[in-house]
Structures are given as C-alpha cells and as structure tokens.
C-alpha cells in the first residue's frame, strides 16, 4: 500500500500495513466488531480473521467491497455466494480467480469481471472465454 493510516480499534494502534497485523493479539481477530471495522478500512485484514469470521457473510462482504482480492481468504462456502463474488469482481475483476468454479461459469459475473479488468477473462470458465458478449465486454 502506498499510504499509511493509523487505526485505533479497541485501543490497539497499528499501521494499515500487513506487517502491523501480526502484532495484534489473536483474541482480537475473534472479535466480530473488531474484524468488521478493520476490514472496512483494509479488506486484506480478512486474512488474519478467525476462521469462524471468514464464514460470516457481513464481514466478507465488507472486506471484498474494500479489496476484491480478500475473496481469497473467505470461507469456501462464501466463494460460491453470487452476491459476495459480484462485489469482489466489481472492486477488482481479477478476484474472479478466487471464486468457486460454478461462478466462473456464470455469464453475469464474468461480464462484470471483464468489464472491470479485461485480463479477468483468463479466470472465466473455458465455455465463456469465446462467448462474443464476454469478448466484446473485455475489449472495452
């Protein structure tokens, strides 16, 4: 990240950089309100969240809205959730690579992804990689 931003959540101050997250007590990453506020500021923080919170739709949704690639750290069940994946690819089309295979076959999801970033086409199911509508959207 280019900029640094100090966050003060539950009295814990840290820089909005990945290295700063290692110094946060593990217990904090089990606290839903702490994780929710953190991912709203920096979606990549989802990587550090407790496994149970990576299954929480509200937390994952906020994370992917802020940083589409946070989809990588979401629970497998949410990588199948169309609304979650749609928000992720709106933010960064290349987040399609972390979606469940079933959604890589979903034309509406792939269209959004390739409109956001043409190279997302490589992550779409082969059946859609030659679809004229998808190709047209990717070339815009």
Q: How far is CA 17 from CA 20, 24, 45, in A?
A: 5, 12, 9
β-bridge partners, 13: 8
The pair of three-digit structure tokens given for residue 56, joined into one six-digit string? 């929480």
Predicted confidence (pLDDT) at residue 7 exceeds the cutoff of 90:
no
Structure confidence by residue, pLDDT tens digits, 67-126: 999 999 999 999 999 999 999 999 999 999 999 999 999 999 999 999 999 999 999 999
Which helix or strand (DSSP H or E) is residue 8 part of?
Answer: strand 6-9
Asked whether the beta carbons of 68 and 92 are under 8 A apart, the reply is yes
Per-residue pLDDT band for 57 (boundaries 50, 70, 90) equals: very high
The H or E element that residue 12 is part of is: strand 12-15
Q: How confident is the model at residue 19 (pLDDT cuts 50, 70, 90)?
A: low
Question: What global pTM score does this model have?
Answer: 0.86
DSSP states along 116-135: H-GGGGGGS-HHHHT-HHHH
Sequence ranges of the domains in the chain: 6-138
What is the SS3 assignment for 106?
coil
């Amino acid at each position: 990240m280019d900029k640094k931003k100090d966050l003060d959540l539950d009295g814990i101050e840290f820089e909005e950089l990945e290295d700063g997250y290692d110094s946060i007590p593990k217990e904090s990453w089990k606290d839903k309100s702490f994780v929710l506020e953190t991912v709203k500021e920096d979606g990549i923080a989802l990587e550090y969240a407790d496994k149970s919170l990576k299954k929480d739709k509200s937390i994952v949704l906020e994370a992917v809205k802020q940083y589409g690639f946070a989809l990588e750290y979401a629970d497998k069940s949410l990588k199948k959730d169309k609304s979650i994946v749609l928000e992720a690819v709106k933010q960064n089309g290349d987040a399609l690579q972390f979606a469940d295979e079933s959604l890589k076959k979903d034309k509406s999801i792939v269209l959004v992804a390739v409109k956001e970033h043409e190279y997302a086409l490589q992550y779409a199911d082969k059946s859609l990689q030659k679809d004229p509508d998808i190709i047209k959207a990717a070339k815009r």
